[in-house]
Amino acid sequence: MRLIFGVMSLLIVLAIVGTLAKKQLQAIGQMGQTSTRAPTDPAAKAVTDAVMGRARDGAATVAVPGGMGGAADATPAVVEGTVPMQSKQIQNNVLNTTNAALQKGAERNHAAQP
């Protein structure tokens, strides 16, 4: 009897959490709008290009608001392989670009101090 009530309680809690999550996603407009196609508006395409490591106008960070110029000379990533491999390559590219920008900023701060 306790087992049945435990399972029923778990299912009720799961249903409530699922309903709340669905309402929250609908409220921010994320439900039912997922697409695997490339973005068509220039701002979204620019951010996608920057994340993928593709250079735009000679600089990967030109289109990213507040982007660091230090990442502009980063080598564009070649994303090939399976989806998990592509994901890992993109993550590594973002990590390397971020580390390069942070290093350049630290060097700039060190050089600016008297």
- Reported as a single tens digit per residue, the pLDDT across 11-52 is 999 999 999 999 988 888 765 555 555 556 666 666 666 666
Q: How many CB atoms lie within 10 A of CB 23?
A: 10
- Residues 28, 25: Cα–Cα separation, whole Å: 5
Q: What is the pLDDT of residue 28?
A: 81
Both tokens assigned to 27: 């409220």
Q: How many CB atoms lie within 10 A of CB 72?
A: 17
- Ranges of each domain in the chain: 1-31, 38-114
Q: What is the pLDDT of residue 46?
A: 63
Q: What is the pLDDT of residue 60?
A: 45
- Residues 10, 65: Cα–Cα separation, whole Å: 44
Instruction: Give residue 69's identity as a one-letter amino acid code.
Output: G
Most confident of 25-29, 43-47, 92-96, 108-112: 92-96
Place of tokens 């695997």: 36
pLDDT for residue 77 is more than 60: no
Both tokens assigned to 87: 């994901």
Kindly state the DSSP code that residue 77 receives in the 8-state scheme: P
Q: How confident is the model at residue 69 (pLDDT cuts 50, 70, 90)?
A: low
Place of tokens 């399972």: 7
- Residues 94, 54: Cα–Cα separation, whole Å: 12
Instruction: Using a cut of 0.85, tell me whether the model's pTM lies above it.
Output: no
The residue with greater pLDDT, 88 or 56, is 88
